[in-house]
Every structure is written in C-alpha cells, then in structure tokens.
Amino acid sequence: MVQFFWSIVTEQEAEKIAGKEIVKIIKEKSIMLYEKAAEYALKKGIIIADTKFEFGVVDGKIILIDEVFTPDSSRFWNKEKYQPGKPQENFDKQFVRNYLEKIKWNKQPPAPELPKEVVRKTRERYFEAERIICGITPF
C-alpha cells in the first residue's frame, strides 16, 4: 500500500518518523544540493530563493524521488533586479499563485481552471528560466 500526504514537519518530528540518522543524511544532502545549485544559478543571474526536495528510502538507500530545481519546486529570482523586502521578478510558478490569490481561491479542490493568459505567461517564465540557467532556447 502506498500512502501520499502533504505535511510540513519540524526536524524533531521528522526524526520521530524516520529516525535521526536518516534525517541527518537528508539534511546534509539537501544543503549540499542547494549550495551547488544556488552557486551555479547565481553565476547565471538567478537567485534560488528556496526549493524543496522529496526523498524516499528504497532497499535501504536514501534517494531523491521527485524533480529538483525546476520552476515548480523552486523560486527563481532575477539577480539583477533583486530588491530586498519587495516582490521579486521571478521565473517560477509565483505568477499562478498571485492569480489564485487575486481570485481568492480557497485552496480546496477542485482548483479553478487557469485562463489561457495566465498559462501562457507562466510558460514563458519557465522557458526563460531554462534559457538563462541551461542556455537552452526551447522550440
């Protein structure tokens, strides 16, 4: 049986669930991954403001179980236009979040359908992040 859930837990709660050693390893790997990616992205003009990782244990090994460092799992900010304490120019799904806040979505399923313009502008941001970070121009 597979169970899926969404929850934010403290480090202490995670240790109760998975054990101190697993949490220690995940923490170390998370910091190492973030530091390497943030350094690389910063050289390209992108601040990785935050990100998430999903880990699992398979055959006793800790593995990444989802995508990493994409506009869906990270917040990418334009380094040149960064201004502390203000909304940032971004290359991630913040545009969708802003739209959903504007229409006052209650965050309960089903999610509202996004207008084509919101989808288009979000897609443009994702492709711009890809172009800047990877040097790839889609299509």
In this prediction the pTM is 0.82
Using CB atoms within 10 Å of the CB of residue 36, give its burial: 0 to 12 exposed, 13 to 18 middle, 19+ buried. Answer: exposed
pLDDT in tens, 80-137: 999 999 999 999 888 899 999 999 999 888 999 999 999 999 999 999 999 999 887 7
Is pLDDT larger for residue 7 or for residue 52?
52
Cα angle value 8/69/129 (rounded, 5°): 130
Domain that holds residue 26: 11-134
Q: Decide if 2 is inside a domain.
A: no
Residues in CB range of 41: below 8 A, 6 or more apart: 47, 48, 69, 76, 133
Q: Decide if 22 is inside a domain.
A: yes
Q: Residue 108: CA atoms inside 13 Å, Cβ hemisphere, count? A: 1
End-to-end CA distance of the chain: 41
CATH number at residue 17: 3.30.470.20
